[in-house]
């Protein structure tokens, strides 16, 4: 089954404690991205990757890092989380030839 898998689904952490949210896709897609969803703001792109070792900032990259060492994986790293990063995060993937994006189930992060 074609899917994008994120882990964990729910995470509560404290300010400043480094965390990683994993994302994996099994569709051999070149393009992967991270979004955060906040009430009244819709989804905003954090970072994206057009292929292995190629990443770039989206619209709201501050406080986040990503890496793309393998085509299937695109982890999101928060090195020093702050309460304003409390949000619902989605990973998405797509083929560059077909702009339909497939989304993971989401990770609800709370930073206290």
Q: Taking Cα atoms as reference points, which of 43, 44, 66, 46 lies closest to residue 55?
A: 66
The encoded tokens of residue 55 equal 């990443």
Q: Are strands 107-111 and 10-13 parallel, antiparallel or unpaired?
A: parallel
Q: Does 100 bind another protein (CB under 8 A)?
A: yes
C-alpha–C-alpha distance, residues 52 and 101, integer Å: 18
Q: Looking at 25, 94, 109, 111, which residue binds another protein (CB under 8 A)?
A: 94
Q: Name which of 78 and 89 has its Cβ closer to another protein.
A: 89
**Which residues between 1 and 60 bind another protein (CB under 8 A)?**
4, 31, 33, 35, 40-45, 48, 50, 56, 58
Interface ranges with another protein (CB under 8 A):
4, 31, 33, 35, 40-45, 48, 50, 56, 58, 90, 92, 94-96, 99-101, 103-106
């Amino acid at each position: 089954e074609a899917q994008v898998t994120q882990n964990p689904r729910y995470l509560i952490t404290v300010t400043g404690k480094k965390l990683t949210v994993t994302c994996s896709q099994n569709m051999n897609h070149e393009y992967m991205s991270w979004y955060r969803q906040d009430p009244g703001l819709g989804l905003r792109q954090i970072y994206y990757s057009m292929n292995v070792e190629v990443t770039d900032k989206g619209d709201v990259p501050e406080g986040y890092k990503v890496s793309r060492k393998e085509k299937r994986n695109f982890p999101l790293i928060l090195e020093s989380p702050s309460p304003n990063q409390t949000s619902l995060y989605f990973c998405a993937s797509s083929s560059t030839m077909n702009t339909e994006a497939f989304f993971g189930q989401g990770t609800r992060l709370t930073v206290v």
